[in-house]
Structure 1
Amino acid sequence: MSHRPWEDGADFAIGLAPIDEARWLEGGEADPALLGVTSFGDLPPLYAAARTVADDLVLVEKTGDHWRVSAISLSAPTFFTAREVLGRSLADIHGPVNGFNDRFLARLVRIFDGLRPGLILQRRNWSVVNSDQPFTPFPAPVRARIGEIAPGDVGRALFTRVERQTVRRLPETGGVLFTIRVWLTPFQALAERPGQLAAFARAWRSAAPGFAAYKGFHLYAELVEAFLRAHGESHSVNGA
């Protein structure tokens, strides 16, 4: 379990940090530099590039004053579809995230405006889901099954879903390539690592209200708390 962003807390944060090019993509890539994609004939460039990597790819380009999604290859969406984001601006896409546009949008635009070629930035976020499938474009079918989960099955039925995201400038066009890689880990794996379970429990119980509401934590609250108590994590945020 190489990615544990809950150890950094539970609130919305841009959290972009520079990484070396060697760490850009994390496995399964035929060509980490995204070169040689012309071997796929007449396929659109982004689609051809997507055939060489395990990450989803999103091309964001500036039109007028707004950065907009101009092309996308999506195989592991977390409750959104390509149709919902294609052609839309960063402000439109992040509108449903409570407080994002007020707190972070201007900073994100500055980052995209100032991103220099050769610099690669990484961030991670996380949620809890009751599905082991990377392809989850719609939340309703997944969440409709929550009531079927018995407390004793939580370790196998619930997963932490981590998105590792990177951004980098495309030097020829000036666009920004946004990559997304999803990692799913069953709760049982957390229980096997007490230190990681304790860190998760702290983040879960201290989650900022806006973050928790957007992620739908209330839907899983009883199951998660029962699991944490069953594995020795009975201390609450309030110390009760």
Structure 2
Amino acid sequence: MSSGVIDGTAVLPERISRFPFPFPSDSYRYSTNVEPALKTVVTEAGAWGGRLLDIDEHYRHELTERDAVLTRDPTRLQVLPHMRPAVWDAISTLLPIMAAEHPDAMSFDRDGNACRWQNTLQDLDLEFTLGDDGSLPVEPLRFLGSQIQDDIALLDQREGALWLDAGLVTFAADWSFGFDVGMKFLEVHGPVPRVHQEQIITRAQQFLLRLQPGEKYRRANWTMTVDRRLDTSTETYPQWARDRATVAGDPALPDRLHLRVEVQHLIRLPHSGAVLFLVRTHLLSLSDIARVPAWRERLGRVLAELPEDMAEYKGISRYRSAASAWLLGT
């Protein structure tokens, strides 16, 4: 495990040096901001983006948390019947990539449909048959979600549109996968302000419809979260909503408030033709962000300048002024 750059006299920990800080300028507006995957991005603190499936210090903890969420609420995993081949397509696509990117911890061997997956981080040595649900210890999509930290969505293409017809989403940022499953891509993004007037979602769908088999792209999205809470889904709103209203006055705000960045990978699966949408969530406290002076100033300015309708949609309107003031020292 490598360390980050020097910050004063201290070496930055990996949670900072590998964090995907999302702001190239002092203001933010919605955009498609899609770029080829696997391109390393150098930041003021280090770098990120060289892998499709990143593994970090939170690997075991996040997968344990995912399992707990699914146990409490099985609706976070849904696969419409026609999407079963796409799930297996995702498994046969991602496991070899994961093994290639993390050869010290994982390996994948395939002979026809007979596969062997080894994951030393979980003491797992598993033989299974592609396409045979019963050869896995759990439902196929749940198995895939037990190996990667990303949330998973699978979009079917038909009638000239994309449809959210399968997924495993345990770490949603103020939305409900259970409500959205089966909806069109354009309908899922209906509540987002400005994006329809500016045709952003329409352009995004057109881009996805043109994806060729095997092509991989990515984009970043962001919001903020109080405490290190991954599951901020609509279903758990009563558990976290109050914190958004009270954190502005909490002296512990810099430690409690986190910048939440989603690195979203978009992949056209080679056999089923489905679009695989991976969402990896990264959280970093304001205290940690402040250890990188350029990040501290930029985030402070972004929060101060963000239009109110966008701040309201992101759920940050009640504390963004306090956060900005702390970051900028005003």
Q: When the two structures are superposed, what TM-score results if normalisation uses the length of structure 2?
A: 0.64
Structural mapping, 1:198-217, within 5 Å: 198-217=297-316
Name 1:141's counterpart in structure 2. 239
Structural mapping, 1:181-200, within 5 Å: 181-200=280-299
Deviation per CA, 1:142-176: give whole Å up to 9, x if none.
Answer: 23123443442111111111111000001111110
Instruction: Give aligned-pair identity as a percent.
Output: 21
Name 2:255's counterpart in structure 1. 156
1:10 aligns with 2:10: no
Name 1:70's counterpart in structure 2. 165
Name 2:38's counterpart in structure 1. 20
1:208 Cα offset (Å): 3.5
Name 2:192's counterpart in structure 1. 97
1:184 Cα offset (Å): 0.8
Contact 1:17/1:121 (8 A) holds in 2: yes
Bigger RCO of structures 1 and 2 (CA < 8 A, at least 6 apart): 1
Partner Cα separation in structure 1 for residue 252 and residue 96 of structure 2:
39
Letter in 1 for 2:189: H
Contact 1:151/1:227 (8 A) holds in 2: no
Q: Which one of 95, 99, 107 corresponds to residue 31 of structure 1?
A: 95
1:49 Cα offset (Å): 2.1
* Bigger Cα displacement from structure 2, 65-74 vs 218-227: 218-227
Partner Cα separation in structure 1 for residue 299 and residue 325 of structure 2:
14
Partner Cα separation in structure 2 for residue 83 and residue 47 of structure 1:
15
Alignment length (residue pairs):
231
Partner Cα separation in structure 2 for residue 146 and residue 56 of structure 1:
24
* Bigger Cα displacement from structure 2, 68-77 vs 28-37: 28-37
* Misfit runs of 4+, over 6 Å: none
Q: Which one of 118, 135, 151 corresponds to residue 56 of structure 1?
A: 151
**Please, which runs of 5 or more residues in structure 1 have no aligned partner?**
235-240
* Bigger Cα displacement from structure 2, 131-140 vs 168-177: 131-140
Q: When the two structures are superposed, what TM-score results if normalisation uses the length of structure 1?
A: 0.85
Partner Cα separation in structure 2 for residue 18 and residue 96 of structure 1:
27
Contact 1:62/1:175 (8 A) holds in 2: yes
Structural mapping, 1:213-232, within 5 Å: 213-229=312-328, 232=329
Letter in 2 for 1:12: Y
Partner Cα separation in structure 2 for residue 177 and residue 73 of structure 1:
12
Letter in 2 for 1:205: A
Partner Cα separation in structure 1 for residue 326 and residue 152 of structure 2:
35
1:32 Cα offset (Å): 5.2
Q: Which one of 178, 182, 186 corresponds to residue 83 of structure 1?
A: 178
1:44 Cα offset (Å): 4.1
Partner Cα separation in structure 2 for residue 202 and residue 223 of structure 1:
12
Contact 1:59/1:177 (8 A) holds in 2: yes
Name 2:83's counterpart in structure 1. none
Name 2:218's counterpart in structure 1. 122
Contact 1:31/1:53 (8 A) holds in 2: no
Change (3 A) 1:225 1:42: closer
1:185 Cα offset (Å): 0.7
Name 1:108's counterpart in structure 2. 204
Partner Cα separation in structure 2 for residue 7 and residue 188 of structure 1:
20
Contact 1:126/1:161 (8 A) holds in 2: yes
Change (3 A) 1:56 1:147: closer
Change (3 A) 1:49 1:225: closer
The CA RMSD measured in Å over matched residues stands at 2.5
**Please, which runs of 5 or more residues in structure 2 have no aligned partner?**
1-15, 40-49, 61-93, 99-107, 109-114, 118-126, 129-134
